[in-house]
């Protein structure tokens, strides 16, 4: 079932992504050619044009990331909270499967979008320039090994992965909770998001204090700063994991118990 649902979820969303990817890659091709202008010409107007174009290119990259989230959120909204929801919720599929599919779909497109971003940079910077930058990575890995930073790397890796999952998931949860209120659904969604953000901020701040990473004037727990950093990162990881679970079940329960099409 999950595979089937995922197949259709991906089918329904791939078009805007493809268009965005196409535009970005074309622009990166154009940008890589235009940036040569600076080397070969001193004409002010031409250089101005080149610079503006490069700005446009940077905006296009931003557009990719924004577009990614927007497409995913809009697709969620359309599938569950509009007339199309009449189809979605009458399919003989468990609510948890429907939501899980949307999450997996979102993560997949986030990864693909990142890949396209990397390819665009390769095109823009030119392969030689890009690989010069890339060569830093094995050096970095050696340094990590040498300085015993593997733990940190894993922790940060885990947090990043959860961040990728939680980014769309928090929005899903807010939309699901918002629709429970029969009036002002959109306002309720936004309010939920604000409340969530506030809680997250608060907890993160508290964590920093507790693990003594902030001003040294806080002397409740005295920890060696490296251990403190580890503890902080692990805490953040577990906190994100908890949030992930909360968002997931909040979304499912909202749809199961208080669906209001």
Partner 1 sequence: MNKTNATSLTPLLVCQNLSKQYGSFTALFPMNLIIPKGRIVGLLGPNGSGKTTFIKLLNGLITKSSGDIQVDGNPIGVESKKVISYLPDRTYLNMSNTVNEILDLFEDFYEDFDRSRALSMLESLQIDPKSRLKTMSKGTKEKVQLILVMSRNAKLYILDEPIAGVDPAARDYILRTIIQNYNPNATVIIATHLISDIEQILDDVIFLQNGQVTLYTSVEEIRATHGKSVDEYFREVFRC
Nearer CB in complex with partner 1: 39/257: 257
Nearer CB in complex with partner 1: 15/142: 15
DSSP line for 196-227 = HHHHHHHHHHHHHHHTT-S-TT--SS---HHH
Residue 85: CB minimum distance to partner 1, A: 8
Residue 101: CB minimum distance to partner 1, A: 13
Residue 254: CB minimum distance to partner 1, A: 11
Which is nearest to 79 in space by CA: 255, 257, 258? 255
Nearer CB in complex with partner 1: 85/168: 85
Nearer CB in complex with partner 1: 73/207: 73
* Cα 31 to Cα 2, 39, 67, 124, distances in angstroms: 41, 14, 20, 6
Residue 180: CB minimum distance to partner 1, A: 10
The Cβ of residue 137 has, within 10 Å, a number of other Cβ atoms equal to: 9
Residue 62: CB minimum distance to partner 1, A: 27
Residue 258: CB minimum distance to partner 1, A: 6
168 and 77 in contact (C-beta within 8 Å)?
A: no
Nearer CB in complex with partner 1: 61/97: 97
Residue 232: CB minimum distance to partner 1, A: 42
Nearer CB in complex with partner 1: 20/212: 20
Looking at beta carbons, which pairs linking 253-259 to residues 24 or more positions away fall under 8 Å? Answer: 254/173, 254/176, 254/177, 254/179, 254/180, 255/80, 255/89, 255/95, 255/98, 255/99, 255/176, 256/95, 258/179, 258/180, 259/89, 259/179
In the complex, which residues of this chain contact partner 1 (CB under 8 A)?
4, 8, 12, 83-87, 89-94, 182, 256-261
Nearer CB in complex with partner 1: 13/50: 13
Residues in CB range of 63: below 8 A, 6 or more apart: 20, 24
Coil, helix or strand for 51? helix
Euclidean distance between CA atoms 91 and 130, whole angstroms: 48
């Amino acid at each position: 079932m999950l595979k089937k649902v995922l197949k259709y979820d991906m089918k329904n969303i791939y078009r805007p992504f493809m268009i965005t990817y196409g535009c970005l890659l074309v622009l990166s091709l154009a940008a890589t050619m235009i940036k040569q202008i600076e080397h070969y010409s001193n004409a002010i107007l031409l250089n101005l044009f080149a610079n503006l174009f490069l700005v446009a290119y940077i905006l296009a990259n931003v557009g990719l990331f924004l577009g990614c989230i927007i497409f995913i959120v809009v697709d969620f909204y359309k599938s569950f909270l509009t007339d199309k929801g009449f189809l979605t919720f009458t399919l003989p599929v468990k609510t948890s499967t429907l939501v899980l599919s949307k999450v997996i779909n979102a993560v997949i497109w986030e990864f693909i979008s990142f890949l396209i971003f990397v390819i665009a940079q390769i095109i823009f910077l030119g392969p030689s320039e890009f690989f010069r930058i890339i060569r830093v990575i094995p050096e970095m890995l050696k340094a990590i090994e040498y300085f015993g930073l593997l733990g940190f790397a894993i922790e940060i890796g885990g947090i990043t992965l959860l961040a990728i999952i939680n980014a769309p998931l928090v929005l899903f949860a807010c939309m699901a909770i918002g629709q429970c209120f029969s009036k002002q659904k959109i306002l309720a969604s936004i309010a939920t998001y604000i409340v969530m953000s506030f809680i997250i901020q608060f907890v993160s701040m508290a964590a920093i204090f507790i693990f003594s990473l902030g001003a040294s004037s806080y002397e409740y727990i005295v920890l060696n700063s490296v251990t403190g950093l580890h503890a902080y990162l692990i805490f953040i990881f577990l906190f994100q994991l908890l949030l992930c679970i909360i968002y997931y079940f909040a979304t499912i329960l909202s749809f199961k118990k208080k669906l209001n099409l």
